[in-house]
A and B are shown apart, each in its own frame.
Chain A
């Protein structure tokens, strides 16, 4: 069979991940210290695992309603009110297969071929790809270290055209750790208020915001009615493998997303949904405990990186540091490959997250302190040999 000419043009045009090859090499090598992962190193808290097991014991192995178990959706609305002062009703809530599916549903609900979707960069690799799959055009907006990787009103305004349909608002940000505090949201809201642009706010890292609580863009006047908030259990509850997320937004949008969801996925995994009910009911304290631990590692890692001469802005959220490697004169990929081969430390080249990530690397601190200290010692030795 001729596969190459058989594939859809859109699927064939998707850029393969160059990083995959890099990490395949890293995985083959012995004694490599990886700082590459994008998920918690904690295990899912026991009471959540137990709730999943109990649901299996009771034979709850059927599909749920498309939008998810009502009890879980109810808990999600309580949680958002309790933790972030966000008000949503049951019909404005849908349970998805990870935050990723929420992103996909939202993009597919809005984007027509030819529509432009604004994507602040560097950012999570899936946004641009999903937009492309929907036939839209992802338009990057570069965020900069001197702005602490925030989206600025000026940059947003400059990127808007008559074709702009949707803004992806990914804060706290992977890979930069940039956050948008309450005082930064108003200027963004002011730009959007008189437009018809919708917003996909990816708040998956909201619980991992340091030095103050996360504030949703929906808190600003005129924003709630145009915004879909996508979040999930992966990062806050260390539940990546359970593949469970949710989205909240205006009911017509959630209805549209649910229509796509029922054909594509039908419903999120039932076991995961039962586990997640327990997560939302009784794990606030454990979420905070994990966030405190990340915070210590964050402060330590940034301190260590700056001390060895890799200039690093102090990230305000998520679990990544994004130091500049420009002082070495190497490209991001050269830096990562040389570091891997000479010192056996794997970090992610910044340009994996968009062209504007060139000159940076992403270092995850979802590792034990001992692991981080050892890795930074190796990076320091590497820098000295350059």
Chain B
């Protein structure tokens, strides 16, 4: 049923009936599968993709690269868990390459982010250094184009 997950990843608001029709199964079967995926933690949640720039709520996002001194026995886990506790942290990944952790953070102002880096993140035990990159514009998020560029220019041919 990977097809079901792929459809939900694209649009979590499809109804059970619509999913069932697309997949050629019964709505009951779709419901049962989704419940099972939720219980197993395969489906973690259903979040909207929102272009906040179109609202009166203004936000600032940044991507922060963090170099870390791994802890004996626990590696990067302890610090990653601590960072992920902060609710302004949107995503957190362990990376290969020139740095260790990559996180995305959202705040109301540049100061929020500067404050987070200076007073929350940098002083944490194990953080060697940070590099903060502010996000200037979003074009695509979670597989969805955020910019409005879609216009159907196809001509009608019979």
Contacts and interface: CB of A to CB of B under 8 A. Distances in A.
A369 B24 contact: no
A125 to B, nearest CB: 5
B158 A353 contact: yes
A36 to B, nearest CB: 5
Contacts of A34: 152, 156
Interface stretch (A80-88, A263-271, A272-280, A297-305): A297-305
Contacts of A353: 158
B11 interface: yes
B154 A37 contact: yes
B157 interface: yes
A382 interface: no
A299 to B, nearest CB: 5
A145 interface: no
Contacts of A299: 21-24
A277 B23 CA distance: 33
A352 B158 CA distance: 8
Given A369-B11, A370-B11, A37 B157 contact: yes
A308 interface: no
Interface residues of B, number: 15
Nearest to A175: B158
B46 to A, nearest CB: 16
Given A304-B21, A373-B18, A17 B154 contact: no
A41 B152 CA distance: 9
Given A369-B11, A369-B14, A370-B11, A23 B21 contact: no
Interface string A38-52: 110100000000000
A23 B22 contact: no
Contacts of B24: 299
Report which residue of B7, B23, B158 has the largest number of chain A beta carbons within 10 angstroms of its beta carbon. B158
A289 to B, nearest CB: 11
Interface residues of A, number: 27
A19 B17 CA distance: 34
A38 B155 CA distance: 9
Contacts of A208: none
Contact of B158 (A302, A303, A348, A369): A348
A332 to B, nearest CB: 13
Nearest to B24: A299
A60 interface: no
A182 interface: no
B12 to A, nearest CB: 12
A124 interface: yes
A371 to B, nearest CB: 9
Given A369-B11, A369-B14, A370-B11, A296 B22 contact: yes
Contact of A38 (B7, B11, B18, B158): B158
A17 B14 contact: no
A20 B142 CA distance: 39
Interface string B1-25: 0000001000100100110011110
B8 to A, nearest CB: 12
B158 A300 contact: no
B11 A19 contact: no
Contacts of B14: 369
Nearest to B19: A300
A124 to B, nearest CB: 7
B43 to A, nearest CB: 19
Nearest to A367: B152
A296 B23 contact: yes
Given A34-B152, A369-B11, A369-B14, A300 B22 contact: yes
Interface string B118-158: 00000000000000000000000000000000001011111
Contact of A41 (B11, B21, B154, B157): B154
A38 B11 CA distance: 25
A121 B136 CA distance: 56
A175 B7 CA distance: 27
Nearest to A19: B158
A299 B14 CA distance: 14
A169 B17 CA distance: 36
Interface of B: 7, 11, 14, 17-18, 21-24, 152, 154-158
12 contacts: A37-B155, A38-B157, A38-B158, A39-B154, A174-B158, A296-B22, A300-B18, A300-B21, A302-B21, A348-B156, A369-B11, A369-B14
Interface of A: 17, 19, 23, 34, 36-39, 41, 124-125, 174-175, 240, 296-297, 299-300, 302-304, 348, 352-353, 369-370, 373
Given A38-B157, A299-B23, 20 more contacts: A19-B156, A23-B156, A36-B156, A37-B154, A37-B155, A38-B156, A39-B154, A39-B157, A124-B158, A175-B158, A240-B157, A299-B21, A299-B22, A300-B18, A300-B22, A303-B17, A304-B18, A353-B158, A369-B18, A370-B11
